[in-house]
A and B are shown apart, each in its own frame.
Chain A
Amino acid sequence: MSIWEYANPVKFMRTSGAVLPWVAAAAAVCTVAGLVWGFLTPQDYKQGSTVKIIFLHVPAALMAINIWLMMLVTSLIWLVRRHHVSALAAKAAAPVGAVMTLIALITGAIWGQPMWGTWWEWDPRLTSFLILFLFYLGYMALWGAVENPDSAADLTGVLCLVGSVFALLSRYAVNFWNQGLHQGASLSMAPGERMSAVYRYPLYLTMAGFFLLFLALLLVRTRTEIRRRRLAALLARENRA
């Protein structure tokens, strides 16, 4: 099995159609079970019940960054090898990534209000997430604005490459500009700062759940894009006849 076989949309549609129900079911099971388990965890001695927001916040933030990375890789594959399904997958992933970024920002604000006493703080992590959200918006707007699908894929691909460099640059530039309020890594493996197992295992489960959820949404949206492309081709043929 190689990814080049799936440049053929027929092959991609057959395989993804077979895999999709299983992925969707696994995503539902992991997300629901993880969130329910997380909801039933004991209250933190300092944060009280607000600690439970972590089961939404951390997986969403994790996916927000990783979806952009996935778009970077798929854009590169399209630019180098003209793999059409890859370009459509990048297009399909962007709105999911934007929503994940938004979830991370909103749950963070809801947690920050009681804990830090503010909905929003110009902290490096928060700021770079806001910038990442702007990059997602610009990327999606460019896809919507260009009419020719191949040009749109090329332009958004180039934008994704340049945007990745600058998103990373902004991430470290804001460190320079303001000191942080946000804690360091949430899943540190260092013995002293490791999260208690009570919270850690449900968190792993929701992280797996969010990843599977993204995978399911990605497959659904890529299949929709391929069908839309086919429909456009059919309509064009009808108009010519």
Chain B
Amino acid sequence: MKALLIRDLRLATRAGGGFGLALAFFLIVCTLVPFGVGPEGGQLSRIAPGILWVGALLSCLLSLDRIFALDFEDGSLDLLATAPLPLEGTVAIKAFAHWLVTGLPLALSAPVFGLLLHLPGPAYPWLVASLMLGTPALSMLGAFGAAVTVGLRRGGLLMSLLVLPLYVPTLIFGAEAVRRGAAGADPVTPLVFLAAITLATLALAPFAAAAALRVNLR
């Protein structure tokens, strides 16, 4: 398991692995929004929690097809499927690697992007906390979407249609926590719901993703 994790991390961080692409995309989203809605600080700080969460969600989506597609093409996914490690474990490890190279950097760097959008001061810790709690669910659900569409030509577009509706509950609770933090209200309730969704997703989605992978490898 550790070997697989290290291999995936190496593949993602070396040249052509697309590491940092998600962060760059997040930066572009945060740059474009003020052009769209106007540079007025008050308006920006009002919509900042939502924009930051939607931006994080889209940047996460961007690199999802890499979770399985390359391994599917060169056949190493077949080897992983016949390896002694259960396919559910493989899926969970690959989703974890995806989180380490996209979700974690996004959560840690989000305060910088918050500055760009005039996020109100008290919201910063909650922004990081909600992204830390929520992005693992995004990676895991994304792994499910990638597993369903791995065998398809031009599966990327279809995958976003399948995955984005699944992101709705995570987005609602994540953005709500930041919004409450910004307003000075108590953000613990949405954070608890967010943690519940993430834990349930981590527990159940690997089985669905592995079932889909087995169908696609048949």
Contact = CB atoms under 8 A, between A and B. Distances in A.
A26 B133 CA distance: 53
- The A interface, classified by DSSP as helix, strand, loop or mixed, is helix
Interface in A124-172: 131, 134-135, 137-138, 141-142, 145-146, 151, 154-155, 158-159, 161-163, 165-166, 169-170
B198 to A, nearest CB: 12
Interface core residue of B161, B168, B190 (most chain A CB under 10 Å): B168
Contact of B166 (A158, A161, A163, A176): A163
Interface in B172-195: 172-173, 176, 190, 193
A145 B151 CA distance: 10
Interface residues of B, number: 28
Given A145-B152, A151-B216, A155-B148, A169 B211 contact: no
B176 A177 contact: yes
A151 B162 contact: no
B166 A155 contact: no
A28 interface: no
Interface string B201-217: 00011001001100110
Given A155-B212, A155-B215, A166 B161 contact: no
Contacts of B166: 162-163, 166
Contact of B168 (A138, A146, A170): A170
B165 interface: yes
A35 to B, nearest CB: 32
B144 interface: yes
Contacts of A145: 149, 152, 155, 158
A174 interface: yes
B162 A170 contact: no
Contacts of B168: 131, 166, 170, 173-174
B72 to A, nearest CB: 14
Given A151-B218, A176-B190, A141 B169 contact: no
Given A155-B212, A158-B208, A131 B158 contact: no
Given A176-B173, A177-B176, A134 B144 contact: no
A176 B176 contact: yes
B205 A174 contact: no
Contact of B165 (A135, A146, A155, A161): A135
A138 B161 contact: yes
Interface core residue of B148, B190, B193, B212 (most chain A CB under 10 Å): B148
Given A158-B148, A159-B148, A176-B193, A169 B161 contact: no
Contacts of A159: 148, 162
A109 B169 CA distance: 24
B197 interface: yes
